[in-house]
Amino acid sequence: MPGDEPTGDEPTRDEPTRDEPTRDEPTRDRPAGGGLHRRAMQLEWGTNAWNSLEVFVAVGLGVAARSLALVAFGLDSLVEVFATLVVIRHLGDAGEDRGDVRTHRALRRIAGAFWLLAAYLLVSGARGLVAHDVPRHSPAGIAYLAVTAVVMFGLARQKKKVAAAMGSEPMAREAAMTFLDGCLSVGIVAALAANMGLGWWWADAAAAVAVAGLAIREGIESWRQGAPHTEGDAMG
């Protein structure tokens, strides 16, 4: 009938309006939360696996070469394994935790672990300098740390993006630790290369002391991050 015919300005029943997305078509500005969570867990487990490998490889190479810096790097990786497990537990906990109380408590434990590591490195580094401990050359250590630097910088960049998209404070903090791991790799590579190429035996112990300084700094940051605060201050 003439009265039942739709006009040109009115959408038909079978055609969706322009402002309403179809059921099969996701909106551009709303990424799936499940996809972000899955990506975050993949990045954290990948970081955990690499750092677990670092503990054994770096310490083993360090003992073989009598390199305090390599041993220090391996022990630092052990602290980072703990940090990634904290984030993994946080991401996997579906229960309500107002103010991330459990995570902040764990971050303060991480701070304590960093300070214990710093104390060990300061004592060992000072002893190495006084005793004139000369490490052996370690081409394998240099190669491994160079690869580690590339991996850690890549992981840190990806985790920072995902943490910002999710608004995850613990993951953002742990991404900073992953970036530090890459920086430490570069610094220790420079120290090992200086010892091998220029005979600067003291560079190894100096690198260990430098790692201790960074560990103290990270411990302070972790302690501050672990302080109770309101939700509005989480990403501030």
Dihedral angle over CA of 132, 133, 137, 141, nearest 10: -120
The pLDDT of residue 136 is above 90: no
Q: Rounded CA gap, 138 and 12, in Å? A: 74
Domain layout of the chain by residue ranges: 36-227
User: Alpha helices, DSSP H only, in 132-201?
Assistant: 139-166, 169-198
Global pTM reads 0.69
- Over its C-alpha atoms, the chain yields an Rg (Å, rounded) of 25
Q: What is the mean pLDDT of residues 157-168?
A: 88
The tens digit of pLDDT for each residue in 63-122 reads: 888 887 788 788 878 888 888 888 888 787 766 656 667 777 777 877 887 888 788 878
Instruction: Measure Cα distances from 112 to 16, 29, 55, 102 in Å.
Output: 58, 41, 19, 16
